[in-house]
Amino acid sequence: MLRIRLTFTLIFYLCLGNALLSGQNSAILDTLGGKLSVMVELAQAGNFEQAQVEVESLREFMKRNKIPLTARALTLMSGIYQANSDERSASTLLTVAEMDARRDPNPFTKAELLKALVQEYRNWQLPEQALVCQQLLTVAQDSIKSRERKAEALGMRQKYDSLATLHQLELSQQVNYIKIPKEDAWIYGSLVGLAFLILLWRNLSFTRRWQKLLRKKEQEWEAVKSSPAPEQRRHAIVPTPFTEEITAVSKTRVPEMVSSGPGPMPHQICLLIEPNRQVVLYLKSLLSDRFQIETAQTQSEALEMANEMLPDLIVCDALVNGHTGIEIARQIKLSERTNHIPVVLLTNKFGNEGKLDALRAGADAWFTRPVIDDEFDASVQRLIEARKLKHEQFSRFLQLYFTENRVDLQDPFLQQTVQLIESNMANPDFLPDDIARKLQLSRVHYAKKLMVLTGKEPVQLIREMRLEKAKVLLEKRAGTPQAISELVGFSNPGTFALAFKEHFGENTLLLYSKPSGRL
C-alpha cells in the first residue's frame, strides 16, 4: 500500500511540477523532472534506499534553487523516510517545511503545507510539534476566512451600489411617467370595467339575435322544402281555404321538429353519420329531446368520433358521400371498443333488400328513407328499453354469480371484467384503472362502456361483487364477518358492515347467525 501511495503521489507531483515552478527556467524544470522520474522508478521497484538518496539530492537541488517545499512533496519525502525508518532525516525535513510554511505569505498554500505537517508529525509520533503546527494552521485558516468575508462584503457592497444605481436611474425615469392619484385611478378603472361589461352585454345580445335569425332561416328552409314543387304551384294560383290550412299547418309544424324546447340538456349522445344537411335537421328534430346530437359527414370522421366519444346511439346512412355507409356501421360493430353502441341504418331499399343491408352492417335497426316519425321514435324507444333490460339481466347475473345457479355471460367484455374482479377480490387496492389497463382502454372509455352494458360504475360493480361474495360466504358460515371482510377486500370490518347493511338491508352478524340451510 505504501508503494502504491508513493507511486501515485510522485506521479501527481510530476504532473504539477510545471505549475508549481512556473517562475523557473526550462533547464531547472527539466532537471527536476528527471529527478522525479528516477524517484518514481525506484519507488515502483521497491528500492527505497536509493530513493532516499534521490530525495536528498532533490532537497539539495530545491534548496540551491530556492524552490519551497509543497504539501505533496513533503508527504512524498516523508513517506520514503518512513519506509527506511530514517527519523533524523525526516525531522530535518519537517523542520525545513515548517520554516517554509512560516515564511509563506500566501495563506492558502501555507494552510495546505501546515495541514500536511500536522499529519506527518503525527505519523512520526511528535505530538508537540504537531500541536504547534495545528495552531499555525488555525491562524492561517482564520486568515483565509477573513479574506473570504472581506471578498463577500466587497461583493455585497458592489451589489448594493448597483441596486442603488438602478434605483437612482428608475427615479430619474419616473418623470416620464403619467402619475394618476389613487382616487382617480379607481374612477378610471371603474369606467373601463363598466365599458367592458356594456360591450360584453351587446355582444351577447347580437349573438342571441343571430341565433334567432339562424333558427328562423332553418325553419323557412324546412317550410320551402315541404311546400309543393314549382310546377304544382303554377297550377295553384288561386289560394283556397284547404291550401291555406295546409300552409298554416306546415308553418306551425316545422318549429316543433327543430326546437327541442325548454328543459335540461340530455346526457346521452347520438352520432348522426349523414352528409345531407336537411336529413340531419329532420333527425335532430326527432332525437334532440333525448340526445345531444353530434354529426359526421365522412367515413374517417365518423369512425374517429365514434371511437373518441363512444355515443349512446349511432344513426348511419347507407350511402355517405358516394361511399357505402354499411362498411362504416360494420367497422363500428366489429370494433371491441364500439361494438356495444346501438346502430340504426338508413337505406333507400325496401323489404328484404333493406334487411339484408342491415344484416351486413350488423345494425340493430334499419329504416327506409323517408323516415316516418312514429316508427323511428318507437324503434329508438325499443333500443333504450332493451338497454334497460340488459341492465336488469346483469343485476340478476350478479346475484347468482357466486351461487350454484350461476348463468354464463355472452359478452366477452363483461366476461373479462367479472373474471378480473373475481381474481383480485381479496386485494383492497384493486382499482378500475387496473381493469381498463388490462383491457387496453382508457379509464373514461372503460367506465362509459361498462355503464352502457350494465348501468353500473366500475367502482360500484367491484363493490357489489365483493358484497355478493361476502353474502354467500356468510350464509355458508365460511368464517367470521371480520375474516370474510378481509377475504373480499375490505380492510376495515366497520366499513364492510356499513356497506353490507346499506346494500342488502341486513346486519352481517345476524346473517351469520342464521341457520346454515337458509339461502
CA distance 428 to 484: 13
Confidence at residue 198, expressed as pLDDT on a 0 to 100 scale: 92
Residue 188: strand, helix, or coil: helix
Per-residue cell: 444 = 373514461
Q: Which three cell numbers stand for residue 298?
A: 365522412
- Distance between CA 51 and CA 84 in Å, rounded? 10
Spatial CB neighbours of 145, under 8 Å, sequence gap ≥ 6? none
Measured in degrees and rounded to the nearest 5, phi and psi for residue 271 equal -105, 120
DSSP at 469: H
Determine the Cα–Cα distance for residues 493 and 464; give it in Å rounded to an integer.
16
Strand order in the sheet with 343-347: 292-296, 269-273, 313-317, 343-347, 365-368
- What lies within 8 Å, CB to CB, of 80 at 6+ separation is 6, 39, 43, 48, 51, 52, 55
* Neighbouring-strand partners of residue 324: 319
pLDDT of residue 262: 52
Closest CA to 299 of 321, 271, 277: 321
Residue 397 contacts residue 386 (beta carbons within 8 Å): no
CA distance 331 to 444: 22
Q: Which single residue is written with the C-alpha cell 532537497?
A: 59
Q: Which residues pair with 420 in a beta bridge?
A: none
The whole-angstrom separation of Cα 439 and Cα 449 is 12
**Phi/psi of residue 255, nearest 5 degrees:** -60, -30
Can you give the pLDDT at residue 243?
Answer: 36
Return the half-sphere exposure (C-beta side, CA atoms, 13 A cut-off) of residue 438.
17
Q: Which residues pair with 367 in a beta bridge?
A: 346
Q: Where does residue 440 fall: left (phi above 0), alpha (psi -120 to 50 degrees), or beta otherwise?
A: left
**Which helix (H) or strand (E) segment is 433 a member of?**
helix 432-438
Residues contacting residue 240 through CB under 8 Å, at least 6 positions apart: none
Q: Which residues of the chain carry a pLDDT beneath 50?
A: 1-23, 223-261, 516-519
The answer to whether 347 touches 354, Cβ cutoff 8 Å, is yes
The cell numbers describing 232, all together, are 304544382
The CA distance from 158 to 178, in Å, is 32
